[in-house]
């Protein structure tokens, strides 16, 4: 069946449906829904709703019209819809209340395969492909239907794969967030949603040893001492103009974004280094700020770390706890004081 609500007695007595759809390492992406519910999408593009307390499958919707070789790279709640983005440039909006119908379908550029996706505070969907960024302004989801997205555009911004992206407000009077991207080329770029590059910095071996509190100077790939270090993960703080990046050598770097415009939208953005922390010798695979507390979760392959963020210390990053498990940690999500790994 395309859609199935599992009756209560089946939830109590039979876990066969759950086990059928939870083979090892089968989930592409997930997010917290209302209450203690989790939305997840597996490799065969089933949209599933789980109870976080019991782990039981509550609802399942086999997404129609998705190509077999396309995988879901992003899922989130957007008002009354579950928004999903796929590697072939298709975005779907599923009715969040019934989880049984696709209300809108949008097509971005299909000339490339997308690998990462993010939704900005202005409801702009940003997707990345090797060396490319694509925008899609969603606006009112009630007015969307099955059509080519008119505001989708493709830009060249990195040499090689884009590995992470995020959005951040640089000042209190700013109305639109700036976008941050990082990649295998070791370059962190800050740019406006109109495509203008506001700042760029390449992380190198020499930068890894730089002192805290120093202002990062702009550099180009291939200039300066030492090889570039790939930036494998990126997160933005929920309340301050800060960003945290993780590198391929297991280090974290906390940066402050400084607007260099007198009013309105920034013309350029400066980066100030607030501190760094060496977590591991393995690449960071995920980092995330706690939405309400001064805590950060970070993953390096099978390692999981909890970091405290202090605003009074000379180095604001201090390790609180670490653990390991048998599998690689690919994504992290906070929900109150629960961490979904």
User: What is the pLDDT, as a whole number, of residue 142?
Assistant: 55
Residue 6, pLDDT > 80, answer no
Instruction: Give the mean model confidence (pLDDT) for residues 332-341.
Output: 84
* Sequence-ordered list of residues with C-beta below 8 angstroms from that of 21, at least 6 positions apart, any chain: 42, 46, 48, 57, 60
User: What is the pLDDT, as a whole number, of residue 208?
Assistant: 44
Q: What is the pLDDT of residues 51-96, one digit of tens each?
A: 988 888 899 999 988 888 888 999 998 888 999 999 988 889 999 8
User: What is the pLDDT, as a whole number, of residue 304?
Assistant: 92
Count of beta carbons in the 10 Å neighbourhood of residue 283? 20
Sign of CA dihedral 220, 225, 231, 232: positive
User: What is the pLDDT, as a whole number, of residue 209?
Assistant: 41
User: What is the pLDDT, as a whole number, of residue 110?
Assistant: 67
Instruction: Give the mean model confidence (pLDDT) for residues 330-338.
Output: 82
User: What is the pLDDT, as a whole number, of residue 210?
Assistant: 42
CB contact at 8 A, 137 and 123: yes
pLDDT band at residue 144 under the 50/70/90 scheme: low
Q: Closest Cα partner for 178 from 254, 76, 253, 264?
A: 264
User: What is the pLDDT, as a whole number, of residue 259?
Assistant: 82
| 45-54, 163-172, 305-314: least confidently modelled range | 163-172
User: What is the pLDDT, as a whole number, of residue 8?
Assistant: 47
Residue 221, pLDDT > 50, answer no
User: What is the pLDDT, as a whole number, of residue 234?
Assistant: 92
User: What is the pLDDT, as a whole number, of residue 222?
Assistant: 31
| 124-128, 133-137, 320-324: least confidently modelled range | 133-137
Q: Closest Cα partner for 124 from 133, 113, 114, 111?
A: 133
Residue 316, pLDDT > 90, answer yes
Residue 11, pLDDT > 60, answer no
Which one has a higher pLDDT value, 82 or 16? 82
Instruction: Give the mean model confidence (pLDDT) for residues 316-332.
Output: 85
Q: Closest Cα partner for 191 from 136, 267, 262?
A: 267
CB contact at 8 A, 214 and 229: no
Q: Tell me what percent of the residues of the chain surpass a pLDDT of 70.
A: 76
Give the global pTM: 0.74
Instruction: Give the mean model confidence (pLDDT) for residues 228-255.
Output: 91
User: What is the pLDDT, as a whole number, of residue 75?
Assistant: 92
Instruction: Give the mean model confidence (pLDDT) for residues 140-162.
Output: 59
Count of beta carbons in the 10 Å neighbourhood of residue 147? 10
User: What is the pLDDT, as a whole number, of residue 246?
Assistant: 93
Burial class for 323, CB neighbours closer than 10 Å (0-12, 13-18, 19+): exposed
């Amino acid at each position: 069946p395309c859609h199935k609500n599992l009756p209560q007695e089946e939830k109590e007595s039979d876990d066969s449906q759950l086990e059928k759809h939870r083979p090892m390492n089968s989930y592409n992406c997930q997010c917290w829904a209302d209450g203690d519910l989790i939305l997840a999408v597996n490799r065969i593009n089933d949209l599933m709703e789980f109870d976080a307390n019991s782990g039981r499958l509550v609802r399942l919707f086999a997404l129609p019209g998705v190509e077999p070789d396309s995988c879901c790279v992003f899922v989130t709640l957007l008002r009354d819809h579950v928004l999903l983005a796929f590697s072939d440039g298709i975005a779907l909006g599923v009715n969040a209340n019934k989880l049984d119908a696709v209300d809108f379908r949008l097509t971005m550029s299909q000339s490339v395969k997308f690998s990462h996706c993010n939704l900005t505070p202005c409801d702009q969907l940003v997707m990345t492909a090797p060396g490319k960024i694509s925008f899609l302004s969603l606006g009112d989801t009630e007015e969307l239907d099955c059509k080519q997205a008119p505001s989708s555009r493709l830009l060249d911004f990195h040499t090689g794969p884009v590995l992470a992206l995020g959005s951040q407000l640089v000042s209190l009077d700013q109305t639109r967030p700036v976008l941050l991207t990082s990649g295998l080329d070791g370059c962190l770029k800050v740019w406006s949603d109109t495509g203008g590059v506001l700042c760029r910095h390449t992380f190198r071996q020499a930068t890894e040893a730089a002192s805290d509190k120093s202002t990062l100077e702009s550099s180009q790939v291939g200039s300066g001492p030492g090889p570039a270090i790939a930036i494998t993960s990126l997160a933005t703080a929920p309340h301050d103009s800060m960003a945290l990046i993780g590198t391929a050598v297991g280090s974290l770097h906390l940066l402050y974004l400084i607007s260099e415009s007198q009013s309105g939208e920034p013309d350029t953005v400066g980066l100030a280094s607030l501190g760094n922390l060496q977590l591991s010798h393995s690449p960071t695979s995920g980092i995330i700020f706690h939405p309400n507390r001064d805590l950060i979760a970070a993953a390096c392959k099978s390692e999981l770390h909890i970091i405290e963020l202090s605003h009074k210390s000379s180095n604001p990053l201090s390790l609180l706890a670490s653990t390991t498990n048998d599998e690689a940690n690919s994504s992290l999500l906070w929900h109150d004081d629960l961490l979904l790994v």
